[in-house]
Structure 1
């Protein structure tokens, strides 16, 4: 089976779409499937993750979600002999989907919001609570909804969380493109805490923002360690608590059993973040920089309450079992063999 992925990353949309697709591509490649990627706007460090898996990466310049984009996708699918196209991005609306399906390949679309019309054969919404959303499947397709379809990248599948025996460790991360340097603002709030802790801070701002964050850390002894985006799985598995945005990262934290305080940074993160809080594996602080004060207060409460952190971690691990890629692959294989 050959599969073409169509997903992007960038300052305005972050890197979650590409990383979610990478997790599914890794799972499929492990099963002998040939995968390729068509993308636009992503920076080389993100694309390098795909090339490390020996996945063919093609770039194009058409406007995301346009009919020109659909034509480029059709051409790439035909060239690779793809039986499935996997699309992840809110710009790939029903017109784009209908145009792409004219080529004969089946179509899977990732979604986070619900309520839209889809011409796809499969729609996957991996967020908790997604099973309660409505979808207009105009082409008679199927919806795979809920956390049983969370796709984990391979580095997370066998990673196990280990509690700290020293002062609690906090991981701070707000996605692959932190335009407003929320990480730096978060450090300013965390520094006010009286409870002992150490923090690893992932700063995905621009070069100047990274320098500012590193300078702040240097002025606070060894309490903060600042790093640009790196291999996240071992960092997540080595902390007791996380301050993070919603989206894919929060689901990965849940799978590892890490308790979280969530500060959302985009509209599409709101439903999933609220559902994670409702499931007991996270606490919601609010949206953006205005929520950091409340987030810090909540972190202080959890630093003083290891039993609550353990309960939240168990709830997350029970919610996300890490077999989402396997279940999606089974549905795709069934779609290929169906008459």
Structure 2
């Protein structure tokens, strides 16, 4: 058993205008829980345009940029990335006890090189499209074939944590879950497409809600401070009555509590919404969101209307009409949502990782 006061944990994840912010945000949630268990967390990231390095530091976590070339873009070579990561992991006298990797471009090639330096490796994944070499794998998503998704993709002794019960959502959602009130109609809508929204789905939705009967709805619009369309979104919000814009909101659980329905992407916001019993009209802004959104549509929680490239204003309005008319029951969808996510996933994952480290 290890006896030192702090367990040193590295997190390898990236964010950018292109990649979005979801990987970093869920890793910060896990980092908070690890710190409560006497973990000491350091983030290792690339210095990509629009990255959240400064935000990570604002949350009181060290953030080390591993790359000398700040213009390095996807796709990245796993061997090159592993070499850069190992170089920085070796700085100082203390070795890390574990590393967490949350990155779609890194696989078993990268992981095996890291395992020469660190014994315990936890992978956070959503795709199940590549081999992994890890002690623990977390996939917080809901799929119809959930239990078999990682067959033959991880070592036989890998502990698989699969499903929304392991969703990495912040404690504010757990704390406010008891304040959720029954939803019986649609009066207030939350609009959110992640931290960057490169395709500007936010503006598309605001325009759809600025016509006819939809102008009577109150809407809260949430964007990140690195949203490249921020100024145009702000103009749209100013011109539409009953509209409030929130930039880099730090009160998402409160906004969800006050909303009856969301119009949003199928990204990491999904599990926060479900914890707060907030159903949504979902638009996939990446291919990996399609299956998740379709599954939640299948279970009667969300109404998935398609990929962002093909969804238009009319489809958004038609989806809203289905909820507003009662054809889709917002009250039933809300109750189903809360049954899927209890909000304790980050605590469970942190505890499991710490126990893995303390085994030796």
Shared fold (TM-score, shorter chain, > 0.5): yes
Cα distance between partner residues in 1 of 2:128 and 2:166: 15
Tell me whether 56-65 or 310-319 shows the greater mean CA deviation. 56-65
Question: Which of these residues, 44, 47, 53, is aligned with residue 47 of structure 1?
Answer: 53
Cα distance between partner residues in 1 of 2:316 and 2:135: 40
Cα pair 1:118 1:139 within 8 Å, conserved: no
Task: Kindly state the Cα deviation for residue 240 of structure 1 after the two structures are TM-superposed.
Answer: 1.0
Tell me whether 237-246 or 58-67 shows the greater mean CA deviation. 58-67
Instruction: Report the equivalent of 2:89.
Output: 77
List aligned pairs for 1:47-126, cutoff 5 A: 47-61=53-67, 64=76, 66-78=78-90, 79=92, 81-126=95-140
CA 334–322 in structure 1, closer or farther in 2 if over 3 Å, else same: same
Number of positions where the alignment pairs a residue of Structure 1 with one of Structure 2: 338
Question: Which of these residues, 184, 198, 202, is aligned with residue 222 of structure 2?
Answer: 202
Cα pair 2:95 2:118 within 8 Å, conserved: no
Cα distance between partner residues in 2 of 1:39 and 1:307: 42
Q: What SS class does the counterpart of residue 176 from structure 2 fall into?
A: coil
Cα distance between partner residues in 1 of 2:230 and 2:354: 44
Instruction: Report the equivalent of 2:353.
Output: 332
Q: Which has the higher helix share?
A: 1
Question: Which of these residues, 186, 192, 203, is aligned with residue 173 of structure 1?
Answer: 192
Cα distance between partner residues in 2 of 1:307 and 1:274: 16
| RMSD between aligned residues | 2.6
5+ long unaligned stretches in structure 2: 1-6
CA 308–42 in structure 1, closer or farther in 2 if over 3 Å, else same: farther
Instruction: Report the equivalent of 2:337.
Output: 316
Task: Kindly state the Cα deviation for residue 193 of structure 1 after the two structures are TM-superposed.
Answer: 4.4
Cα pair 1:26 1:53 within 8 Å, conserved: no
Question: Which of these residues, 141, 158, 169, is aligned with residue 175 of structure 2?
Answer: 158
Cα pair 2:16 2:50 within 8 Å, conserved: no
Cα pair 2:15 2:50 within 8 Å, conserved: no
Tell me whether 302-311 or 263-272 shows the greater mean CA deviation. 302-311
Cα pair 2:183 2:331 within 8 Å, conserved: no
In the TM superposition, structure 1's runs of 4+ consecutive aligned residues that sit over 6 Å from their partners are 163-167, 205-208
CA 101–208 in structure 1, closer or farther in 2 if over 3 Å, else same: closer
1:265-297 per-residue CA deviation (whole Å, 9 max, x = no partner) reads 001212222222223221101010522432321
Instruction: Report the equivalent of 2:149.
Output: 133
Q: Normalising to structure 2: TM-score of the pair?
A: 0.85
Cα distance between partner residues in 1 of 2:349 and 2:88: 22
5+ long unaligned stretches in structure 1: none
Pairing 1:145–2:157 present: no
